[in-house]
Amino acid sequence: MKEKIEQILAEVKTFKAENKDALEQFRIAYLSKKGALTELFTEFKQVAPEMRKEMGMRLNELKNTIQTIVDEQQKQFETTGESKTDLDLTLPVDAMSGARHPLSVVREEINDIFRRLGFVIADGPEIEDDYHVFTALNFPLDHPARDMQDTFFISKNPNENKPTDVLLRTHTSSVQVRAMEANKMPIRIIAPGRVFRNEAISARAHCIFHQIEGLYIDKNVSFADLKQTLYHFVQEYFGEGTKVRFRPSYFPFTETSAEMDISCNICGGEGCNICKHTGWVEIMGCGICDPNILKASNIDPEEYTGFAFGMGVERIAMLKYQINDLRMFFENDLRFLKQFENA
Ligand code: PHE
């Protein structure tokens, strides 16, 4: 057996594949189920007990050597393969055909408005831990949002130590926490992203949707700044003269909290079925950052204050384009998508 191993080792060491096929043949000859190594591993079962340790080590070494040879030569084919392509990689992207998805269009338009105000785009993972989605945002341990009914869990910690549970984020507010942890003042971020909730799919709800989160923390930030920023956004996005109103609300991580409505852009406030004849439609939640969440990320609430807001991209798109069924965004029906070709 020892000789066989040595012999194979000598064979493979000088191997140099001329092309991808030759490399694949080589891999099959040695590493596949019917390959030389499988044979050796079968033989190994008969090796005398006092020789097992040594033979086992040699055999594993041989296997690793062959695997490394295959991996390294593979890499080389991947890179040289690319430069051999006859695609013209220098063609300008404008040559691309097709249309952007309405949600991308709306997201970019919203991002642009806030970019012009000095907000920068921030990002965070979709697969999050409980700490960033709930605990750091002041959600009590028994808050219903932490329930299986609302949240998709990936793994739950058996000893009930919730902050380490792994889950799909239910809101982009988790990016607030990540931005605060980075602790570079002032913070002025906008965080667009996908969120997930365990909801039945209907015309008004989906288990996947998109949010845009905003966070501004600096010295002397007040509710007046929040109102003015969002008022500006609404004028830019829905047109000058659109009215806004703030209603008191509750979120665990903001104090004061509010919900913001705009005058219905469909009927102009007269009353229609989109605004349920009230003349107003709700577009986002917002508020002043609770001092507790600043503290949790080591920001001194005596020195800094901030505001946050979060809106649903689908909701804004539905209002802007008068779409009455949220499922349209996910079905990719070309008759629907084509209407946004020039957006
Ligand atoms: N995260 C909240 C939600 O998903 C919205 C929100 C964001 C509220 C920021 C206040 C501040 O409902």
Ranges of the chain whose pLDDT falls below 70: 79-85, 94-97
User: What per-residue confidence (pLDDT) applies to 231?
Assistant: 98
CA of residue 4 to ligand 1 center, whole Å: 67
The CA R_g of the chain, rounded to the nearest whole Å, is: 29
Determine if ligand 1 sits within 6 Å of the CB of residue 308.
yes
Nearest of 81, 67, 84, 69 to residue 20 by alpha carbon = 81
Q: How far apart are CA 93 and CA 43, in angstroms?
A: 58
Question: Strand (E) positions, the chain?
Answer: 120-121, 127-129, 153-155, 166-168, 187-196, 208-218, 244-248, 254-263, 280-289, 305-312
User: What per-residue confidence (pLDDT) applies to 172?
Assistant: 98
User: What per-residue confidence (pLDDT) applies to 79?
Assistant: 62
Surface-to-core class of residue 323, CB atoms within 10 Å of its CB (0-12 exposed, 13-18 middle, 19+ buried) = middle
CA of residue 87 to ligand 1 center, whole Å: 45
Determine if ligand 1 sits within 6 Å of the CB of residue 251.
yes
Query: Is the previous residue joined to 186 through a cis bond, with omega within 30 degrees of 0?
Result: yes
User: What per-residue confidence (pLDDT) applies to 342?
Assistant: 77
HSE-up (13 A, CA, CB side) for residue 57: 4
Phi, psi of 26 (to 5 degrees): -60, -45
Q: How far apart are CA 159 and CA 343, in angstroms?
A: 51
User: What per-residue confidence (pLDDT) applies to 105?
Assistant: 94
Strand partners, 208: 196
Q: How far apart are CA 61 and CA 66, in angstroms?
A: 9
Determine if ligand 1 sits within 6 Å of the CB of residue 196.
no
Give the angle 177-124-206 at the CA atoms, nearest 5°. 100
User: What per-residue confidence (pLDDT) applies to 83?
Assistant: 58
**Pairing mode, if any, of strands 166-168 and 153-155?**
antiparallel
CA of residue 114 to ligand 1 center, whole Å: 17
In single-letter form, the type of residue at position 314 comes to E
User: What per-residue confidence (pLDDT) applies to 341?
Assistant: 83
Collapsing DSSP to helix, strand or coil, 17 comes out as: coil
Determine if ligand 1 sits within 6 Å of the CB of residue 214.
no
Q: pTM here?
A: 0.72
In single-letter form, the type of residue at position 126 comes to E
User: What per-residue confidence (pLDDT) applies to 163?
Assistant: 87
User: What per-residue confidence (pLDDT) applies to 13?
Assistant: 84
Which of the listed residues 133, 138, 251 should we mutate to test ligand 1's pocket, taking the one with most ligand atoms within 8 A of CB?
251
> Which pLDDT tens digit goes with each residue over 119-138?
999 999 999 999 999 999 99
User: What per-residue confidence (pLDDT) applies to 157?
Assistant: 82
User: What per-residue confidence (pLDDT) applies to 173?
Assistant: 98
* 3 Cβ neighbours under 8 A, 6+ residues apart: none
User: What per-residue confidence (pLDDT) applies to 84?
Assistant: 62
